[in-house]
Amino acid sequence: MTDRIITYSEAIREAIGQAMEADPNVFMLGEDIGIYGGAFGVSGDLYHRFGADRIRDTPISELGIVGAAVGAALVGMKPIVEIQFSDFTAQAMDQIVNQAAKIHFMLGGELSVPMVLRAPIGSGTGAAAQHSQSLEAWFAHVPGLKVVMPATAQDAKGLLLAAIDDPNPVLVLEHKLLYKTSGPVTEAAVRTPIGKSHVARTGKDLVIVATGVMVSRSLEAAAALSEKGIEATVIDVRTLSPLDMEPIEEAVRATGRILLVQEAPKHVGFMAEVSARLAEGKSLYSLEAPIKRLCGMDIPIPYAPQLEKAVVPQIPNIIQAVEDLIREP
- Nearest-CA neighbor of 218 among 245, 237, 190? 237
255 and 153, same structural domain?
Answer: no
Q: 321 and 234, same structural domain?
A: yes
The answer as to whether 63 is a domain residue is: yes
- Output the pLDDT for position 2: 57
Domain of 101, CATH number, reads 3.40.50.970
Q: Has 21 been annotated as catalytic? A: no
Same domain for 10 and 75: yes
Q: Out of 10, 31, 82, 131, pick the active-site residue.
A: 131
Instruction: Say how many domains are in the chain.
Output: 2
In a domain, 190, yes or no: no
Closest CA to 288 of 202, 229, 205: 205
Same domain, 21 and 79: yes
Task: Judge if 130 and 211 occupy the same domain.
Answer: no
126 in a structural domain = yes
Write the burial class of residue 86 (CB in 10 Å: 0-12 exposed, 13-18 middle, 19+ buried). buried
Asked if the structure places residue 191 within a domain, the reply is: no
Same domain, 25 and 164: yes
Would residue 263 show up in a list of annotated catalytic residues for this protein? no
Task: From residue 57, give the alpha-carbon distance in Å to each of 82, 87, 95, 179.
Answer: 10, 19, 19, 21
CA atoms of 203 and 178, how far apart (whole Å): 25
Domain match, 214 and 137 both: no
Pairing between strand 206-210 and 232-236? parallel
Q: Which of 14, 31, 62, 249 is catalytic?
A: 62
Same domain assignment for residues 134 and 60: yes
| Spatial separation of the C-alpha atoms in residues 177 and 312, rounded to whole Å | 13
Query: Based on the domain organization, do 90 and 123 belong to the same domain?
Result: yes
Which domain covers residue 240, as residue numbers? 198-327
- Domain boundary (185, 211, 244) is at 185
Q: Is residue 100 in some structural domain?
A: yes
Write down which residue in 153, 185, 217 finishes a domain: 185
What is 98-118 written as a DSSP string?
Answer: IIITTHHHHTTTS-----EEE
CATH number of residue 290's parent domain: 3.40.50.920
What tens-digit pLDDT sequence spans the chain (329 residues)? Answer: 557 999 999 999 999 999 999 999 999 999 999 999 999 999 999 999 999 999 999 999 999 999 999 999 999 999 999 999 999 999 999 999 999 999 999 999 999 999 999 999 999 999 999 999 999 999 999 999 999 999 999 999 999 999 999 999 999 999 999 999 999 999 999 999 999 999 999 999 999 999 999 999 999 999 999 999 999 999 999 999 999 999 999 999 999 999 999 999 999 999 999 999 999 999 999 999 999 999 999 999 999 999 999 999 999 999 999 999 999 77
